[in-house]
């Protein structure tokens, strides 16, 4: 046969020609694929590098913001009541959205925090809407001014400005004041933004009663105009920080303006904090905010590992559209 003699036939030549064409097309396809996919891989690498740079820039920006928007200090002259030894068996805590008071209102509020029969003389004060160097409140450092007047330790924090608004004044902040020294201050920028890209913040500190007894306290100012799911994530951010960074703390307080505008917001807040082993002596149907004829429960004071011996809403304090909450707890 011809195949056995090694002499190609016309049939064999056709097969070989087609095989050569196939090999050529395979090489051409491989070259095309390399041109098609290698740039994509390179692009992916560039994207990955860009993402890494963006993350690094965001971390650096957060560090700069913490340096500028987290302030911790104490009065030049502490009050005689500061750091009593031994600490009392019971202390009073106050939470108040002060609505950026300044001028005469701020001075009157300081006097109320000093000597009012209900909210005066608190060992720990949590404030929301506490400005620092804003025109509307007289360009003063509100938290420091109050601390100096009352002879207390203090911490203050604010969220970053809205993106693209770098020339604007800083957002309003939150503050914690204490007659006891403060440690481990943490500024927590809450997730999700409100109108105009504004952000909100929480602040945590450890109140040090003595070498062995301490209390983790947070003040929160949540966003008003958010869907419930996102608002809940703002509250949860504080609990997540507590669990991640202070898991061994058996006693904690979370207070502030949660902006629980609707009944479903109130129910969600109670469910979230109850699941985290917090309780509050304040019932869900008692308003903490009023404007015209509308009254709402916006403010909360949550306790974990603490027994309340008294509590109330100070409706006679009218510097803001909110009313202060106060509670006495056993140490």
**E-assigned strand segments in 160-293:** 173-178, 182-189, 201-208, 214-221, 252-257, 289-291
Alpha helices in 116-221 (DSSP H): 142-150
- pLDDT for res 167: 63
**Collapsing DSSP states into helix, strand and coil, what is residue 28?**
helix
What's the chain's length in residues? 331
Dist. CA 19–CA 295, nearest whole Å: 86
Asked if residues 133 and 172 have their Cβ atoms less than 8 Å apart, the reply is no
- pLDDT for res 59: 52
Dist. CA 311–CA 314, nearest whole Å: 10
Asked if residues 90 and 330 have their Cβ atoms less than 8 Å apart, the reply is yes
Domain parsing of the chain, residue ranges: 1-73, 75-330
- pLDDT for res 35: 38
Dist. CA 315–CA 110, nearest whole Å: 17
pTM, two decimals, is: 0.82
Question: Is the bond preceding residue 86 a cis peptide, omega within 30 degrees?
Answer: yes
Q: For each successive 10 residues of the chain (331 residues), what is the average pLDDT?
A: 39 47 47 41 47 51 77 94 83 98 97 98 98 95 98 98 77 96 98 95 97 95 97 98 95 98 98 98 97 96 98 98 98 90
CATH number for the segment(s) 75-330? 3.60.10.10
Tally the C-alpha atoms within 13 A of residue 77's C-alpha that lie toward its C-beta: 2
């Amino acid at each position: 046969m011809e195949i056995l003699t090694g002499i190609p036939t016309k049939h064999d030549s056709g097969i070989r020609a087609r095989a050569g064409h196939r090999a050529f097309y395979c090489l051409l396809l491989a070259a095309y694929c390399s041109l098609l996919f290698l740039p994509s891989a390179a692009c992916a690498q560039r994207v990955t590098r860009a993402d890494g740079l963006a993350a690094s820039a965001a971390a650096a920006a957060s560090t700069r913001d913490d340096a500028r928007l987290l302030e911790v200090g104490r009065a030049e002259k502490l009050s005689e009541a500061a750091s009593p030894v031994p600490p009392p068996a019971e202390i009073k805590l106050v939470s108040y959205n002060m609505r950026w008071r300044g001028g005469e209102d701020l001075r009157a509020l300081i006097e109320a925090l000093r000597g009012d029969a209900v909210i005066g003389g608190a060992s720990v004060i949590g404030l929301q809407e506490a400005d620092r160097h804003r025109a509307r409140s007289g360009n003063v450092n509100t938290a420091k001014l109050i601390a100096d007047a009352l002879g207390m330790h203090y911490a203050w924090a604010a969220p970053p400005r809205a993106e693209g608004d770098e020339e604007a004044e800083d957002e309003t902040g939150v503050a914690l004041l204490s007659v006891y020294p403060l440690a481990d201050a943490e500024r927590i920028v809450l997730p999700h933004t409100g109108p105009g890209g504004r952000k909100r913040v929480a602040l945590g500190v450890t109140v040090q009663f003595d070498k062995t007894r301490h209390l983790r306290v947070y003040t929160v100012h949540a966003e008003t105009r958010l869907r419930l799911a996102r608002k809940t994530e703002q509250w949860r951010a504080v609990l997540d920080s507590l669990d991640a960074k202070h898991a061994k703390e058996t006693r904690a307080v979370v207070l502030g303006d949660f902006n629980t505008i609707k009944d479903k917001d109130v129910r969600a807040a109670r469910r979230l904090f109850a699941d985290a082993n917090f309780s509050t002596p304040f019932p869900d149907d008692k308003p903490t905010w009023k404007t015209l004829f509308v009254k709402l429960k916006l403010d909360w004071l949550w306790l974990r590992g603490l027994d309340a011996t008294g509590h109330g809403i100070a409706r006679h304090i009218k510097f803001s559209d909110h009313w202060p909450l106060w509670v006495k707890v056993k140490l």
